[in-house]
A and B are shown apart, each in its own frame.
Chain A
């Protein structure tokens, strides 16, 4: 378990670094697929099987492919002319490092920081529970419906914005 976590963490962080530094955008999008797959492995290790499947289907299957489509539709921009990073990249790197140190410092002061997980109760199926929580009126049916309205609105808006009026 520990070995698997460490391998996954190294893969996630290394491929994330490649996403933000690769010059060729198609390569960056493919490295993003590797990162997303590593995150799916983490979900599976955390007993969130449904989320691991959704991560692969929605993120890798739809969002990453959408990125690759957008890179190809914007044609010759894929291999960037000039530097891939802007002039203030050192300030951005400093900002990232400060954010990481700040988050780590804040988390390390929390008393539940290094706790271990309890075993799940016997017969507990996280997929069943999640399905019931999403449609039960006492739980999360309203956020679920709001999310579907948001998706429809966003997709109609995306079609309208990208539509070629000619």
Chain B
């Protein structure tokens, strides 16, 4: 049997790796990949809490499905923005996208 703590620690490690990716990568698409890792870590937590605390109530799984939908929306809009920026600036390196910097 696996205690709940293992899932929580694994999710915390995955979240931290995703956070590192978001903060350290230069490419905008790579930053979005880090966001995906963080969303997955959250989902592991939600499903693990559902199974270990009260599996009769489906709250955890429903919440995880909402997170799926939000992640899909976020990726669609984010990648559309990246493609649009690439068309106008010919680069997607986050450091060089400074047109809103004063």
Specify which of A100, A112, A150 is in contact with B53 (CB 8 Å cutoff): A112
Q: Mark B55-79, 1 if CB is under 8 A from A, else 0.
A: 1101001101110111111111101
Closest beta carbon of chain A to B55's beta carbon, Å? 6
With A and B bound together, what is the CA distance between A77 and B89 in angstroms?
12
Q: Mark B39-61, 1 if CB is under 8 A from A, else 0.
A: 01001100110111101101001
A115 touches B58 (CB 8 A): no
B6 touches A9 (CB 8 A): yes
In the complex, whether B100 has a CB less than 8 A from a CB of chain A is no
With A and B bound together, what is the CA distance between A84 and B26 in angstroms?
6
Given contacts A16-B14, A19-B21, A120-B55, contact A84 B27 (CB under 8 A): yes
Q: Mark A60-103, 1 if CB is under 8 A from B, else 0.
A: 00110011011101110100101111101101110111011001
Q: How large is the interface on B (under 10, 10 to 19, 20 to 34, 35 or more residues)?
A: 35 or more
B62 touches A99 (CB 8 A): no
Closest beta carbon of chain B to A22's beta carbon, Å? 9
A71 touches B25 (CB 8 A): no
> What residues of chain B lie closer than 8 Å to A55, measured between beta carbons?
68
Interface centre among B21, B30, B64, by most chain A C-beta atoms within 10 angstroms, is: B30
B12 touches A104 (CB 8 A): yes
B3 touches A35 (CB 8 A): no
B24 touches A88 (CB 8 A): yes
A36 touches B40 (CB 8 A): yes
Closest beta carbon of chain B to A49's beta carbon, Å? 10
A124 touches B13 (CB 8 A): no
> What residues of chain A lie closer than 8 Å to B73, measured between beta carbons?
150-151, 153-155
Q: Which residue of A lies closest to B58 (CB)?
A: A133
Q: Which residue of A lies closest to B61 (CB)?
A: A130
With A and B bound together, what is the CA distance between A120 and B18 in angstroms?
33
With A and B bound together, what is the CA distance between A29 and B30 in angstroms?
8
B14 touches A117 (CB 8 A): no
B20 touches A74 (CB 8 A): no
- 7 cross-chain pairs, A with B, having the tightest CB-CB distances, nearest first: A154-B73, A20-B21, A92-B23, A96-B20, A92-B24, A158-B80, A162-B80
Q: Which residue of A lies closest to B36 (CB)?
A: A32
Specify which of B3, B14, B27, B64 is in contact with A77 (CB 8 Å cutoff): B27
